[in-house]
Amino acid sequence: MARTTFATLALCALTLLSTGCPPAKQGGASDDYSVIVGGDGVFSPDYVKLAEGAAEGTYIITPYINDTSSPGIKAFSDSFQAKFKQDPDAWAALTYDAVGTVAVAIEKAGKPDRKAIRDALAAMNSKETGYSGVTGVTFFDANGDCAKPALIAEVKGGALAKSDLQIDTSSAGDAKVDGKKADKAAAGEPIVIGVAGPFTGQLQKFGEMIKAGAELKVEELNAAGGVLGRPLKIEWGDDEGNNSKAANVANTFAANPALCVVVGHFNSTCSLAGKAIYKNAEIPAITPGSTNVQVCEGSDWYFRNLYRDDFQGFICADFVSKSLKKKTCVVFYDNDDYGTGLKDFFVKRAKENGLEVLETIEYNRESTTDFTPLITKAKYKAPEVIFIAGVYNEAALIAKACKKAGLTK
Amino acid sequence: MLQFLDYTLNGLNTGILYGLIAIGYTMVYGIIQLINFAHGEICMLGAMVTATFVGWAFGVDAVAIPAAGFVVFMTAAALMDGGFGILLDTVAYKPLRGSSRLSALITAIGMSLLLQNLAVMVWGAGAQTIKVPEGYTSTAIFQIGGRLGIRITFFHISIWLFTVLSMFGLYFLVKKTRFGMAMRATAQNPTAASLMGIRLNKVVATTFFVGSFLGAIGGVAVAINKGSFDYQIGLYIGLVAFAAAVLGGIGSIPGAMLGGIIIGVVEAWAAGYLSKVPHPFTEGGLSTGYKEAVGFTVLILIILLRPQGLLGSKGGDRA
């Protein structure tokens, strides 16, 4: 009897609440939905696939868009499509270029010697001496960092396309693809390079693209006579996006005397784990995906062929405040090196631009199973923009949860 | 105020799911004094099998999934998972019934790893999604406080309905049926129970079945709530459910549900209000990344004050 009374009272209270409660405080007009903006970790076809419709209208910062109106990109995209039955994403393109850069460095060094290759890479320090590939011209500064533009992609009609809103006016030059033909086949002892990435695990879509880009370039190089007349061979290192596994991979690579250079790792947290090992073993490495500023600093042996998080964070904040002209935002960030680094730079630039960061919400890639309270935290602030500094898996979950909560359309 | 209510509801929604999974732990412990560390993986398998069944039945890219069909396949998957539970017991724990508890515990950990890797072999290591009927998790049945207020969807109503019915069902099973009496007798003293003619193996198998069935539904609901999942989801939800079972008093079914609800609500409150707590070393508040840690901190505090858990019974360890 008492239980039924309690239940009825509770039901009445709930009904009263629903009628008498004023609407939640809203930032703008009640029909203003939030816009999702993602850092480059969100740039993956699997973001669209996993978010199942909630991804529509997301803006994503990326170092490369597969814009086939450019002849260089079209050539690359066509050969990629022919071999792998899907379009290349930014990471495939950057890995493709990284392998190309490494091949040119080996040629310049004259021998597959670790120190000589490193010196050759360091000598590629201007537009003229740099490597010209599908992502533009790659050349390194004294740190090993590279200046590449940040493009804005948009999820339109279920696909990643180039957005009409671009903020970065710099250009790395036109995409170029080598048309070299072989006069004689590559022969002799293969030159071994290591490619490290998250080939299995939660981030395996990144790994799949990295593998594809590397395989395509090596195939093309070997068909065009190889490097120094010898075929190129890849040694794969699966770090699963995890820093302790990355250290294992780095140690394995370093211990292999035939392995002269590394393309990898992908996640910032993994490259940072490998940095000290590669420095100690004096083996040069070039990353096609790590953007954390620490990766190249303090080591003569690490290079990268894309921008850093300070540049990316500033571009993201500028895009939100100047291109989208929004005033308030909430930042979701992954608590690894990439997410935290990107979030810090975004917040710093947002403060300078007068963009109000209402809340920074951290999540844990390994253990967060329930995003609902985090979304609840964001939604009561009614932000105009939701910025996600993390990778595509969790970004897709956040996008879905935002749609469920009514934050986005 | 509305925000507080929203957090609490969020916490209750996940809390009852943790509770459902924790019931599996607590029932098995009550009967054979084993912490079944592989239970989280059983729940993960339930979610995987549901995703597969729904994918087979309606096509991998289907959008309009009929509700009835979804329920049928989910129930089928949960029943199959109950079978997996029995299989797990038969293969891994029954042979060790007479040995020390430590052996069974290590086996449980081993089975947990084995099942995870089995899942990778069968389904791969990438993210899986369970296709749900349209609007199941997004269409608000009740909405309090405008577009950005509290939304109660059909998903929430169905998990609450299921949990309430399960709790009543379990109460009825354990307290009012003869078989329930057999389960209670086995929990009290297995030797005496078998002397009274109770078939121990049957009781244990049924316990595993019921625990795994509920755990499978809990796992599916957690996976739907999260959005997508992979083979590692069992690790975390197993850990939380174990903590919940201990918090509520291991061996007590209402305790498991209570423990789950407490941990769920504390996690949600932590997500909402941790940033208001000043960080001891840097400026600004504590980050929401600690929300999982807060749940476990509550567990530690309560166990320190009341070692038998909230609803557990004091008493010596029956060797």
Residues A196 and A327 in one domain: no
What proportion of chain B, given as a percentage, has pLDDT over 90?
62
Q: Is residue A152 part of a domain?
A: yes
Task: Express each pLDDT in A221-279 by its tens digit.
Answer: 998 888 888 999 999 999 998 889 999 999 999 999 999 999 989 999 999 999 999 99
User: Best of B134, B141, B228, B231 to disrupt the A interface by mutation (most A CBs within 10 Å)?
Assistant: B228
* Enclosing H/E stretch for B201: helix B200-226
pLDDT in tens, A186-214: 788 899 999 999 998 888 899 999 999 99
Q: Which residues of A touch B138 (CB under 8 A)?
A: 403-404
Helix or strand run (H / E) with residue B116: helix B101-123
Q: Within this chain, do residues A247 and A195 fall inside the same structural domain, yes or no? A: yes
Q: What confidence tier does B19 reach under pLDDT thresholds 50, 70, 90?
A: very high
Same domain, yes or no, for A122 and A267? yes
pLDDT given for residue A18 in this prediction: 45
Looking at the fold, whether A195 and A277 belong to one and the same domain comes out as yes
pTM, rounded to two decimals: 0.88
Shared domain for A143 and A189, answered yes or no, is yes
Amino acid at A184: K
| Percentage above 90 pLDDT, chain A | 63
3-state secondary structure labels for all residues of chain A? CHHHHHHHHHHHHHHHHHHHCCCCCCCCCCCCCCEEEECHHHCCHHHHHHHCCCCCCCEEEECCCCCCCCHHHHHHHHHHHHHHCCCCCHHHHHHHHHHHHHHHHHHHHCCCCHHHHHHHHHCCCCCCCCEEECCEEECECCCCCECCCCEEEEEECCEEEECCCCCCCCCCCCCCCCCCCCCCCCCCCCEEEEEEECCCCCCHHHHHHHHHHHHHHHHHHHHCCCECCECEEEEEEECCCCHHHHHHHHHHHHHCCCEEEEECCCCHHHHHHHHHHHHHHCCCEEECCCCCCCCCCCCCCEEECCCCHHHHHHHHHHHHHHHCCCCEEEEEEECCHHHHHHHHHHHHHHHHHCCEEEEEEEECCCCCCCCHHHHHHHHCCCCCEEEEECCHHHHHHHHHHHHHHCCCC
Strands B150-153 and B140-144: antiparallel
pLDDT at residue B292, as a whole number:
85
Return d(Cα A107, Cα A161) in angstroms, integer.
Answer: 36
pLDDT of residue B280: 80
Look at residue A8 and tell me if it is in a domain.
Answer: no
- Residue pLDDT, tens place only, A61-73: 999 998 888 888 9
End-to-end CA distance of chain A: 45
pLDDT of residue A19: 41
How many domains does the structure of chain A reveal? 2
Tokens 């995209």 correspond to A77
Q: How far apart are CA B17 and CA B225, in angstroms?
A: 10
Interface mutation vs chain A, best among B54, B142, B147, B155, most A CBs within 10 Å: B147
- Give B287's pLDDT tier (boundaries 50, 70, 90): confident
Domain co-membership, A263 together with A321: no
- Interval B203-212: pLDDT, tens: 999 999 999 9
pLDDT bin (cut points 50, 70, 90) of residue A25 is very low
Whether A232 and A102 map to the same domain: the answer is yes
Report chain A residues whose CB lies below 8 A from the CB of B3: 24, 376, 380
Examine the pLDDT at A168 and tell me if it is beyond 60: yes
The answer to whether the CB atoms of B148 and A380 lie below 8 A apart is: yes
On whether both A133 and A205 belong to a single domain, the answer is yes
**Looking at the domain assignment, is residue A100 inside a domain?**
yes
Of A285, A306, A327, the residue at which a domain comes to its end is A306
Select from A306, A331, A354 the last residue of a domain: A306
A204 with A228, same domain: the answer is yes
∠ CA A34-A38-A40, rounded to 5°: 170
Residue A388 contacts residue A38 (beta carbons within 8 Å): yes
Residue A232 CB burial class (10 angstroms; 0-12, 13-18, ≥19): buried
B287 touches chain A (CB under 8 A): yes
Q: Is residue A227 part of a domain?
A: yes
Domain holding A383, by residue range, is 38-63+310-405
Q: Cβ of A369 and B237 within 8 Å?
A: yes
Residue B127 to residue A362, Cβ atoms within 8 A: no
Query: pLDDT digit string (tens) for B140-179?
Result: 888 887 778 888 999 999 999 999 999 999 999 999 999 9
Is residue B60 predicted with pLDDT exceeding 80? no
In this structure, the answer to whether residues A215 and A314 fall within a common structural domain is no
| Whether B140 contacts chain A with CB within 8 A | yes
Of A253, A273, A306, the last residue of a domain is A306
Q: Is-contact B157 B170, C-beta < 8 A? A: no
Q: What is the pLDDT of residue B62?
A: 66
CA distances from A107 to A217, A225, A226, A241, B48 (A): 15, 12, 10, 31, 49
Q: What is the pLDDT of residues A355-409, one digit of tens each?
A: 999 999 999 887 888 899 999 999 888 899 999 999 999 999 999 999 888 888 7
Best residue of A25, A202, A238, A370 to probe chain B, by most B CBs closer than 10 Å? A370
Percent share of chain B, pLDDT over 70: 97
Asked which of A103-107, A227-231, A252-256, B287-291 is least confident by mean pLDDT, the reply is B287-291
Reported residue count of chain B is: 319
Q: For the CA atoms of B21, B25, B31, B37, what is the dihedral angle to 10 degrees?
A: 140
Q: What is the pLDDT of residues B187-226, one digit of tens each?
A: 888 889 999 999 999 999 999 999 999 999 999 999 999 9
Q: How far apart are CA B23 and CA B17, in angstroms?
A: 10
Nearest Cα neighbor of A177 from A218, A132, A209 is A132
The pLDDT assigned to A9 comes to: 66
- State the smallest CA–CA distance between residue B269 and chain A in angstroms: 8
pLDDT class of B316 with cuts at 50, 70, 90: low
Q: Based on the domain organization, do A277 and A149 belong to the same domain?
A: yes
pLDDT value, residue A77? 92
Residue A152's DSSP bridge partners are A61
B8 in contact with A, Cβ within 8 Å: no
Interchain pair B151, A405: CB under 8 A: yes
pLDDT, tens digit, 9 for 90 and up, residues B77-131 = 999 999 999 999 999 999 998 888 899 999 999 999 999 999 999 998 888 888 8
Whether residue A214 is found in the same domain as residue A84: yes
Inform me whether the C-beta atom of residue B126 falls under 8 Å from chain A C-beta atoms.
Answer: yes
Q: Give the nearest partner residue to B127 out of A202, A367, A406, using CB atoms.
A: A202
Let me know if residue A350 belongs to a domain. yes
Q: Which domains does chain B carry?
A: 2-305 (1.10.3470)
The CATH number assigned to the domain holding A58 equals 3.40.50.2300
Chain A contact present for B16, CB below 8 A: no
Contacts of B64 in chain A (CB under 8 A): none
Residue A19 lies in a domain: no
Contact: B147, A380; criterion CB under 8 Å: no
Q: Does residue A10 fall inside a structural domain? A: no
- For all residues of chain B together, what is the average pLDDT? 90
Instruction: Establish if A12 belongs to a structural domain.
Output: no
**Alpha-carbon span A120 to A24, nearest angstrom:** 60
